[in-house]
Each structure stands twice: as structure tokens, then as C-alpha cells.
Amino acid sequence: MTRREPSHTPHPLAGLPDCSLILTLMAVVCPGLNVPVVARLRYHRADPLALYLDSHVDLPEPITWIFARELLATGLSTWTGAGDVSVYPAAADDNTAYIGLSAPENTALLRAPAALLRAFLEATYLIVPPGSESAHLNLDALLEDLLAPADHTPTDGDDHRGHAAGGSDSPTH
């Protein structure tokens, strides 16, 4: 499942991410024209199957894309993703991966340094090893969120997407 969140929607996870990475992605506008996009990847053990990609974190209204951790892992070696998010390695460059994002109103193709994405994934595996995600799921909270009225917001009101994780190109956890 993938989904895009407008930044003004409070996020259901409280607190800072367990792992984050600030990096500069290159938006491929057309052949030969790339535009830098400051982004942040986040991982929360409370949502162990998902990764959060906040694009344009240098602007007041970043956009968050949520997609499966496994999608990124698989996409570093082969094309994957049939929905709003796809990930695939560059054909002739092991150091580059592409992340495709699509929504009804627009699409974006982002070029990313594959080594940083791999390092970020490895950091998430130290927090929640692959295959053990179900032990970290809070099904009661998930059901509560699913059954809550549409205008429901978390009780602490903490939209932690505004927290910066530092300006380095290495994962923190």
C-alpha cells in the first residue's frame, strides 16, 4: 500500500522516528535537466512495514509518501512497484536508484544514491529485523485508527514530520 499525505494532516505516530536520513534527491525533469530536492527518509518501529519519504523538507509544506520497506529493498536490485510508488536500479550504474512517485495530479522521478538507501535499510533492519515486523505491530491502535471518525486526530497532536534529524547524509537511529 502506498499513500501520500499532505503535511498538514497530523501523523498517527507519536514521537521522533527511530531512524531517519536527510538526503538530496535529484528530480529528473527531462533528459539532461535534474533539480535537487531535499528529502528525508523515516522509519518508525511502531509502523514496522512502512517507510516515510518526506520530499521538499526545506519548504514549509513537505509532502510525505508512505510505502513498504520491502518495496525499497526489492527495488534496489530489480524494478518493483505497480502503484503510486515504484523503485528500480539504474540500468548501467549500481550507485543509482530511481524512485517513481505518481498521483492523479502529477508524477515525479527521483534519482537517489543507492548506497545511502542501502545503509538506511540496514539501519532499519537493526531496529526491526526482516520477518519480525508482526511482533512490533499494535493491532489495537491500528483498528482504533481505522474505526475512528474522519476528523479524528491523535490525542497528543504531535505531527512529528516537522522534526529535523540533522543535516547529514547518514542514517541515524
CATH number of 23's domain: 2.30.31.20
Q: pLDDT 10s digit of each residue in the chain, 173 long?
A: 444 454 433 345 556 888 999 999 999 998 889 999 999 999 999 889 999 999 887 788 888 999 999 999 999 999 999 889 999 999 988 899 999 999 888 899 999 999 999 999 999 999 998 876 777 767 777 678 778 887 755 544 433 333 333 334 444 44
Closest alpha carbon to 170 in 114, 121, 116, 125:
116
Q: Provide CB contacts within 8 A for 112, sequence distance 6+.
A: 23, 25, 26, 96, 97, 98, 99
Strand (E) or helix (H) holding 28 = strand 19-30
- Assess if residue 114 is contained within a domain: yes
**Are the C-beta atoms of 96 and 107 separated by less than 8 Å?**
no
End-to-end Cα spacing for the chain: 25
- Residue 86 has phi, psi (to 5 degrees) of -130, 150
- Assess if residue 161 is contained within a domain: no
What's the predicted TM-score (pTM) here? 0.73
- Assess if residue 29 is contained within a domain: yes
CB-count burial class (<10 Å; 0-12, 13-18, 19+) for 137: middle
- Assess if residue 155 is contained within a domain: no
For the chain, what is the domain count?
1
| Domain range for 21 | 3-148
